[in-house]
Structure 1
Amino acid sequence: MLICCAAAGALSSIFKAPIAAIIFAIEVFSLDLTIASMLPLLLASLSAIITSYFFSGNDVLLPFRIEDNFRISDVPFYAFLGVCAAFTSIYFAEVYERIQKLFDKLNSPIKKLLVGGIAIGILIYFIPPLYGEGFDVINNLIVGNPEKALVNNFLNLDLTNIWIVIALLAGLVFFKIIASALTFGAGGVGGIFGPTLFMGSIMGNCVAKVINNCGLFNTPVSESNFTLVGMAGLLAGVLHAPLTAIFLIAELTGGYDLFIPLMITAAISFGITKYFVSYSVYTMELARKGELITHNKDHAVLTLMDINKVIETNFIHVTTNMTLGDIIKEAVIKSNRNIFPVIDEEDNTLKGIILLDDIRPIMFDQTLYDNVFAIEVMQKPPEIIDIEKDKMTVIMKKFQDSNAWNLPVVKNGTYIGFISKSKLLTAYRRELINFTS
């Protein structure tokens, strides 16, 4: 809750968008919309924006007012912009994740710093607009001056040619996420929000310029409106937060004149991106680790449960070379359980399990006590839980698929204990009560 309030307050203060800030906390942090959560978020967002007005007045990062009205004939173009935003979002997520994985292979912080620093330095030397958050570039695009952002292109290309301008702007979209991912990978402090707005504005401006200069359409579209709506489209796709994107741009522009195109573009971008990329850039790493808390109550409760608290270790184990007589004397008689793990006596690795039902037909035949061994009567467990790899969601699925009541737990192949379905469900119910209260 405190993290959500801090994020909402910061967003409200920076962009002077108090409603979008609250929605951001709910969408991105998967916070439940309840009376208990709404009041702190409202207070955080309100106090932040009042403080911002007190110190900086009406100054905003993106000072813009809508001049071109929305036309119903532009709906197909905004839908096309949503498709472009979706594929740009997919590109954003893929590049970000792959670069992070490359840096994960560098086990030294110094190596990461050198590789990232040199790569970023080369990119910024040849493409200066990549430096910083890029709000100056966004403002130049909104007011119709893209040449100011491209004046330092290293090839000294002719900026009076509109197709050269479009190509250079597209290049900024292509390389911005690379620069941002390199910053993160090298250990630097970077953001996702700023680069997303930067890329979205340029993408929207590019789409509008292509539509206006391809010669296929008689009526031009508003490049400034497409620049703004493009930011919403990319925010919706990259952050998986369509409502945040819609309300942020609506509040930035001081009205709801672009609400319909914002909804069209954000919805299409989010829908397509969600189909190909399950998690946002913010949450993909937690999702890989199985530690992501979402609006899915069942998944959230399972994520919060501690596997170590449900492992039972009071099962008497037997070794592979034990005879039937030893099993009965050392395990069956002394145990109040009907299941016995079979382990290798040298390295304690789990080899199988013996159920009481497996030996019941022969356990009273004393002529077999010295002739039948554990390895002959044991069976393979229906599933094995690996404490190092399996999260609670996976464990619950293994119980569901196997219909077993007890499953063995191993760590690096070594037997640890058992988890029973009854104890797991009891712990789940207890955690559910704590979570919902």
Structure 2
Amino acid sequence: MTHSQIKRRRSLIKFRKITVASVIIGCLSALLAVTLKHLTDQYEHRLFTQASLHPWLFVLLPFIGLGLISLLREYLFEKKPNKGITEIFECTQSKKKNLPAYKIPSHFFNGFLTVVFGGSTGIEVSTVVASAAVGSVVQQKANFFREYKTELICAGVAAGITALFNSPLAGIFFAYEVISRKISKTFAWAVAVAIACTSVLLYYLAEPRLFDINPTGWYYRAVPYWLILGILAALLSIYLTRCVLFFKSRFQPINARQRMVIGGAILSLSLLAFPALYGDGYHALKTMFITPTTTLTLPVVCATLGVLLLKPIVTSATLASGGDGGVFAPSLFLGAFLGWLSAMCANAFFGADVVPLNFMLVGMAAVLSASIHAPLTAVFLVCGLTGNYVLFVPILGVSLLSKYVAKAVYPHTVYSIHKIAAQVPSR
């Protein structure tokens, strides 16, 4: 056998092993994400409905959720806190570190408990880290895969995002823009295979889209208002990022019980005032999409501003007090409310005659793009939510604008701060 034949044979063996590993990672990550999504949606709806009928539950439920998470961490998950996306960065940037298998149930159950009991975040980051742990565990099964640790972890991450939002392109770009930042042939193939398996699974499960909405076409007269929306989205994302970092720095010196009490109190009082802040907030967005408020009154404006002001605070309190999650769902939530308010103000005060639904979708992408500095992820995720690309041009333009404005004003995101922290060796 010649040298070239040996080389081709080795390449074929490598190709087969990467393919098999990616299929396993894609299927397992997709099943994990779909299961977590449905369980969370079902039980969050039940508990929120009961709390709406009995408001005293808004006070009690956050403490129950945080208490259960604390018990699981103490007695089941090696007494180690979940550090979210930082755990992925620590793993991909070190040859020795890996995501242990217990991180899969840890993030699964903690993310579930956080959201269903009212924690004002989402299951996206919990799903991402759990899916990354699937990739890491598979990678540890053979010495051959150690060279491709980042690629297989990204395959799990991409599959998880695809399963949550039914958007393969969002999965691809999130794995690239946030986790890897590098493209190789192995990365492209592993992610493509994992996403293909996820897409097939979603097809046979007949997974519905997160929001059943159908945006209309857009007009050039809306462009000036979209530019304003992009700038406002950038500033709002910075406020969210600074809130998360501020609360984490303030909560870190105090013990876990004090963190739980303070964070639970902030969350409970906020939920009593604004029930829309409960959980991931998707229930509030679905209501807005189905039966939007068409009249701009002073109470409505005050309520919307209150939500925009408090959401970053309660999200930060949730995460700092032990909740599992990130800024993904809060960014979408904030962007929708900001987009609606911007459109209504433009119509009421400037006779703009713009479509509030379109502004909500553009706002969702803009705040997400600015919050995680990943415009392509935001664009294809929001387009994937609707199932069409009629707003692709304005969503892309405003997402790029919001990202670069946010980066110019404050160059860090929650993810990039964590990435820097992961690069600093511990002493």
Check whether TM > 0.5.
Answer: yes
User: What's the offset of the Cα at 1:83?
Assistant: 0.6
User: What's the offset of the Cα at 1:161?
Assistant: 5.4
Aligned-residue sequence identity (percent) comes to 29
Task: Choose the corresponding residue for 1:112, options 259, 277, 280.
Answer: 259
Task: Choose the corresponding residue for 1:129, options 247, 268, 276.
Answer: 276
1:19 equivalent to 2:152? Answer no
Contact 1:141–1:202, Cα closer than 8 Å, also in 2 = no
The code of the aligned residue for 2:327 comes to I
Distance 2:402 2:408 in 1: 10
User: What's the offset of the Cα at 1:143?
Assistant: 3.4
Contact 1:14–1:60, Cα closer than 8 Å, also in 2 = no
Distance 2:264 2:251 in 1: 12
Change (3 A) 1:111 1:28: same
Distance 2:301 2:337 in 1: 9
Which residue of 2 is the match for residue 65 of structure 1? 214
Distance 2:156 2:209 in 1: 19
CA RMSD of aligned residues (A): 1.9
Task: Choose the corresponding residue for 2:285, options 132, 138, 141.
Answer: 138
Which residue of 2 is the match for residue 240 of structure 1? 373
Structure 2: where are the runs of 5+ without partners? Answer: 1-149
Task: Choose the corresponding residue for 1:87, options 232, 235, 239.
Answer: 235
Distance 1:166 1:268 in 2: 26
Between structure 1 and structure 2, the one with the greater Rg is 1
Contact 1:140–1:146, Cα closer than 8 Å, also in 2 = no
Which residue of 2 is the match for residue 299 of structure 1? none
Which residue of 1 is the match for residue 188 of structure 2? 38
Alignment map for 1:218-367 (pairs within 5 Å): 219-287=352-420, 289=421, 291-292=422-423
Distance 1:204 1:184 in 2: 25
Contact 2:296–2:348, Cα closer than 8 Å, also in 1 = no
Distance 2:166 2:296 in 1: 37
Paired residue secondary structure (2:415): coil
Paired residue secondary structure (1:87): helix
Distance 1:146 1:161 in 2: 8
Between Structure 1 and Structure 2, the one with more strand by share is 1
Contact 1:8–1:45, Cα closer than 8 Å, also in 2 = yes
Which residue of 1 is the match for residue 244 of structure 2? 96
Distance 1:171 1:284 in 2: 28
The code of the aligned residue for 1:7 comes to V
Distance 2:368 2:226 in 1: 15
Distance 2:190 2:387 in 1: 25
Between Structure 1 and Structure 2, the one with more helix by share is 2
Which residue of 2 is the match for residue 77 of structure 1? 225
User: What's the offset of the Cα at 1:229?
Assistant: 0.4
Which residue of 1 is the match for residue 332 of structure 2? 197
Distance 1:274 1:29 in 2: 18
The code of the aligned residue for 2:338 comes to M
Change (3 A) 1:109 1:12: same
Structure 1: where are the runs of 5+ without partners? Answer: 148-159, 293-302, 307-386, 389-437
How many residues end up aligned between the 2 structures?
277
Distance 2:183 2:394 in 1: 26
Which residue of 2 is the match for residue 49 of structure 1? 199
Paired residue secondary structure (1:279): coil
Distance 1:28 1:286 in 2: 10
Distance 2:296 2:375 in 1: 35
Change (3 A) 1:146 1:42: farther
The code of the aligned residue for 2:157 comes to A
Distance 1:9 1:146 in 2: 36
User: What's the offset of the Cα at 1:144?
Assistant: 4.4
User: What's the offset of the Cα at 1:58?
Assistant: 4.4
Contact 1:27–1:241, Cα closer than 8 Å, also in 2 = yes
